[in-house]
Amino acid sequence: MVIALGTNLGDRAANLVSALERIRVLGRVVASSSVYETAPQGIVDQEPFYNAVALVETDLDPVELVGRLLDIEREMGRVRGPRWGPRLIDLDLILYGDRSIRTPSAEVPHPRYRQRRFVLEPLVEVWPHARDPDGTPVADLLKTVSDQVVAPVDAPAWPTGP
């Protein structure tokens, strides 16, 4: 499965590292992407985001996993504010194998990931042959968001790879 991580408050690199360590409790982290800095979307008058993705193997079902990701956000101190507003940490379940799920508490694939270069680029970095549940190569989706700018950043404490 694919989990996207994002943050734009406080020590952004440390926030990502802390979240990834907490995700490791949920399963085995197979790979993690580089960290990318991206301009905010929606509410643009805020600090830039650091974003990354992690590939994780877990025995948790998608609904339980989403609940656990929300628990991690709360444990780290996230306070829900306006949609697309600043956040200490944001953890989204993007893909869960080739499954499509829609429940009141979980939607997989993430409903907006196909339009977000800050998710697609790190995803293609760590899983070049990933496919959307509809069969579309994620690398093809990445080509459709070339107008969005993401820039890799040096985050020395961030572990790329497994």
Looking at the annotation, which residues are catalytic? 78, 87, 90, 92
Q: Which of 10, 21, 37, 6 is nearest to 157 (CA)?
A: 21
Helix axes 62-75, 12-23, angle to 10 degrees: 140
DSSP letters spanning 121-149: HHHHHH-TT-B-TTS-BHHHHHHTTTTS-
